[in-house]
Structure 1
Amino acid sequence: MTDQSPSNLEIITYPHRQIAKRVFKTIEITSTNDVMLKDPEKIFHSGDVLWSLRQSKGHGRYNRVWNSPQGGLYFSILFEDIPRLGSLYPYVLLCALAIRNVLADRTGEDFFTIKWPNDVYADHHKIAGILIQSQTAYQSSRAVIGMGINLNNPMQHISNLRLPAISLYELTGNPTDPKSFLEDLLDRADAYYRDFIHQRFSHYLPELNRLLYSKDKPMILTEGKHQQIVIPREFTKDGYLRCEEDGETVILMA
């Protein structure tokens, strides 16, 4: 499947949620982010989720290819009437926290961390990524937060990855039911969203900063073709990263 029509989509409803009340499921799609943003038939409403078992054109930041074979978990959440993309940055961090905490709960391990701006790591291996994108038309902005999690898809044998990666299966040796994982994750993301819209993001900052990848240690950040060495210090109340570069304090925005 490339561009979906409603008849190709299974719809699962969760009335108790504020977001992710409707989850649209399909077998294969180009990119969940792209399809939700374009949506010429106006299928999707704010808060809807599009979940695909495979993506043929999955991508990350700077249009980097995101390997999306069957076995991983790939989905996007739509937000409509967004005043500015930056207003969602704190919630992107809460989505990363939701992924991280579901992984920790399911493994009993505490080595999962959040790497700014959009990754979840298991030790020093990437296990999940997040991509936020937006589109503006006729004074109205739509945004999607796309997430990809390596569940049952083998990653360690792939030689052309930009960064080392791993899957939950490779960590535990046990397969994971994607629907069960997604339901746990969306329940948590919904709870975090309720706190986010009620201005309670700051309550999560101590936990987020405890889980900051490479906290107080030098690391290389790659932005497009530009690389810089920074020392991450903390996340800010706006969802930015406060870090040190060449002895100076700088604030990085996603």
Structure 2
Amino acid sequence: MQSTRAKLIQLLAVSREDYISGQALSEQLQISRSAIWKHMKALETEGYVIEAKPKVGYRILNYPNEMNEYTLRRGLETNWLAKTLIHKPIVSSTQDIAHELAKKGAEHGTIIIANEQTKGKGRMNRAWYSKAGKGIWLSMILRPSIYPYEAPQLTLLSATVIADAIKKMTNLQPQIKWPNDVLINGKKIAGILTEMHAEQDQIHYVVIGIGLNVNQEIEDIPAELQHRASSIQIESNKICDIRKIAQNLLAMFEKEYEAFIHEGFSKVKNKWESYGYKMGERVWLNMQNQRFQALFLGIAEDGALLMQTEDEDIKRVYSAEIEWFKED
């Protein structure tokens, strides 16, 4: 649900070069003209350049570069995803907020996005460094009509969307390391955390958390992680528009999610394999107290890894410690 200020910006954006009177704004938003003036002053403190002419009205001359609810909505081409969009300058974790809201009945497609997380997390409760203004830290609440055992497919879907968005907006070639990491030049730039609340045969909700490193410089990456982690800026040597990447990511996710719900996992599987890290190569696996080498063939229809052992048996791997890197 849009806030009054977001609706105000939308009205001004629709009028483009034309002025819109304070009276017209007051009637459409059902607030006083004095309240309209206060909102305009607040917008100016956020970086908007607003022209006001007595007896004529208001118009926006320039928009701020900072990512917030209003700048995100402007130009966002989605139908239902981010219809409810909650932006926070700083939070402990967007994932925690999403769970709280989902339990209270937040609608399908609700997005929580922050400029900074102080306690961002990935799989296995690993810390995710989410510095202010350096990346995209968001969680989305979904209520999909799929079975709980199919939920891991949403992680793979999300990874393909992130890879597509990076490829579309940069000259970089991303890869996906199963199940939830997006890499560039072998270094992690994005991670996905999928959590759900479900019964045996019914999903109540799924929360998908996405952390994407965009404009970190090398000194922003902890020294102990610099051989494994990176950002779009480091790998492309260009500063990126975080807001535009976020908007593209959301628009592409909505489209691919709808295709997945209506058409199944086959398209996602094919796209994932086109990005698959170390597809066709041998890697070491540790599972069931055994360590063995296998050829990575791809992913199965249910999202499991397909591994061919040395005796040519094909195993479906749902959970294992995999040595993707030589130093593992």
Is TM-score (shorter-chain normalized) higher than 0.5?
Answer: yes
Does residue 1:196 correspond to 2:264, yes or no? no
Q: TM-score, normalised by structure 2?
A: 0.66
Contact 2:145 2:261 in 1 (8 A): no
Letter in 2 for 1:233: L
Partner of 2:24: none
Change (3 A) 1:16 1:105: closer
Q: Aligned partners of 1:228 and 1:68: how far apart in 2?
A: 36
Contact 1:18 1:194 in 2 (8 A): no
Instruction: Calculate percent identity across the aligned residue pairs.
Output: 25
Equivalent residues in 2 for 1:70-109 (5 A)?
A: 70=132, 71-80=134-143, 84-109=147-172
Change (3 A) 1:39 1:240: same
Equivalent residues in 2 for 1:4-153 (5 A)?
A: 10=69, 16-39=78-101, 42=104, 44-70=106-132, 71-80=134-143, 84-109=147-172, 111-136=173-198, 141-153=204-216
Does residue 1:172 correspond to 2:230, yes or no? no
Contact 2:78 2:250 in 1 (8 A): no
Structure with higher RCO (Cα < 8 A, 6+ apart): 1
Q: Aligned partners of 1:141 and 1:85: how far apart in 2?
A: 9
Task: Show structure 1 runs of 5+ residues with no match.
Answer: 1-5
Partner of 2:305: 241
Change (3 A) 1:52 1:19: same
Q: How many residues align?
A: 245
Q: Aligned partners of 2:254 and 2:188: how far apart in 1?
A: 24
Letter in 1 for 2:166: L
Q: Decide which structure has the larger Cα Rg and report it.
A: 2
Contact 2:269 2:301 in 1 (8 A): yes
Partner of 1:159: 223
Q: Aligned partners of 1:162 and 1:82: how far apart in 2?
A: 40
Q: Aligned partners of 2:206 and 2:286: how far apart in 1?
A: 24
Q: Aligned partners of 2:103 and 2:153: how far apart in 1?
A: 30
Q: CA offset at residue 16 of structure 1?
A: 4.2
Change (3 A) 1:184 1:228: farther
Change (3 A) 1:29 1:94: same
Contact 2:269 2:303 in 1 (8 A): no
Q: CA offset at residue 113 of structure 1?
A: 0.9
Letter in 1 for 2:196: S
Q: Which runs of 4+ in 1 moved over 4 A?
A: 9-16, 81-84, 220-223, 226-230
Contact 1:82 1:141 in 2 (8 A): no
